[in-house]
Amino acid sequence: MISALKQIRANKLHKYYKSVFIKSFESSKTEQSMDLSTNAKRFCPEAEECGNGRARVGTHDGIFHCDEILACFLLKQLSQYSNAQIIRTRDESVLKELDVVVDVGGVYDANRHRYDHHQRDFTHTLSSILT
């Protein structure tokens, strides 16, 4: 009974977050676009239609999680990313063309604006960083 109630709550929460934060569509099998700005009803299907100079932020496709929602939301609070298009994909060839990438790609490199906490090459521990 308790697990059934948890599942019902989880489903309601998922629907709520989807309705509040995400207006997405599938533009191809590997790429999705969404706009997480305060005006969430507006979204742009293709970058060319959004005007030149619009920043593009990448994150993974598939099920969304709180970490990339928060990352995209925080980026959109910055003036240079307030009108950014959010590209949802795992395709490395698409990711390498984007201005900022969060929560996908397996790389953390602030100089290149790549912020994934699943780094493949990360071997440090807290003690090795602090010494």
**Structure tokens given for 76:** 């959109």
Q: Which of 37, 38, 39, 42 lies closest to 57 in space, CA to CA?
A: 37
Q: Is the pLDDT of residue 131 over 90?
A: no
Between 37 and 71, where is the model more confident?
Answer: 71
What's residue 17's pLDDT?
55
Q: Which of 32, 92, 97 lies closest to 68 in space, CA to CA?
A: 32
> How far is residue 19's CA from residue 13's CA, in Å, rounded to a whole number?
10
- Answering whether pTM is above 0.75, one says no
| Average pLDDT of span 66-86 | 93
Q: Which of 114, 112, 113, 94 lies closest to 104 in space, CA to CA?
A: 114
What's residue 94's pLDDT?
95
| Average pLDDT of span 39-52 | 41
